[in-house]
Structure 1
Amino acid sequence: MGHDIFGFNKAGKEIAYARFSMGNHHAAILYTILDANKYNAGVSGSADSSTYSVEQIEKALNEFKESYLKDSSMINWNHEQILNFIQSCLATAKKEGHVKVYFG
């Protein structure tokens, strides 16, 4: 079990991926900044998806930076994974108007 979170473009191509084991508390960060706690089924995602606008992804990125990236000594690979995921989703949303995120 675990959290496999994917970003998809309009064509359905995977553009972002984040993986957290079921006990990794960093998964909650991604759910929270995406305002997607309803998709967190505890040991995995709920196998549902949501579509995000550029503004929503920008808000998530800003929240993540303000809350989790201020102290560089505390940044780990989980934070880098989240940052890469959000940045990839933002690039797609800016290009296509939105991005779809699947929470598995």
Structure 2
Amino acid sequence: MGHDIYGLNKAREEIAYARFSMGNRNALLLYNLLDSLKFYAGVSGSGKFSTFSLQQIERAMNDYKKFFKTGDSPSESDCTSWDQKQILKFIQSCLATAQKEESVEVYFG
């Protein structure tokens, strides 16, 4: 059991991935940044998909910056833990895709 969260482009290709064990509270951080607690099912995700607009992913990035108190361009070298790094990479990848395609789909498994 655990949280496997995938970002997908319009062709349904994986563009982002984050993995949290079932007891890792940092999973909740990513759910919160994506404003997606309804997809949190305790020991794993709900097994459902959601589509996020560019604006929603931009909001997630802005919330990440506020939460971790980073500058305008956070980088992996700023990260103090593996989970922070994977959350940043996930949001950055989703943001890059949403900027090209106007949205990104996320699977919460």
Verify same fold: TM over 0.5.
yes
Identical columns (%): 60
* Matches for 1:74-85 after TM superposition, within 5 Å: 75-85=80-90
* Matches for 1:1-104 after TM superposition, within 5 Å: 1-70=1-70, 75-104=80-109
Q: Give, in angstroms, the shift of residue 68 of structure 1.
A: 2.2
CA RMSD in angstroms comes to: 1.5
Point out 4+ residue stretches in structure 1 off by more than 2 angstroms.
Answer: 72-75
TM-score (norm: length of structure 2): 0.90
Gap regions ≥5 residues in structure 1: none
Conserved in 2, the CA contact under 8 Å of 1:69 and 1:75?
A: no
- Distance in 2, matches of 1:73 and 1:13, equals 28
AA of the residue aligned to 2:23: G
Q: Give, in angstroms, the shift of residue 21 of structure 1.
A: 0.1
Residues matched between the structures, number: 103
Gap regions ≥5 residues in structure 2: 71-76
Q: Give, in angstroms, the shift of residue 67 of structure 1.
A: 0.6
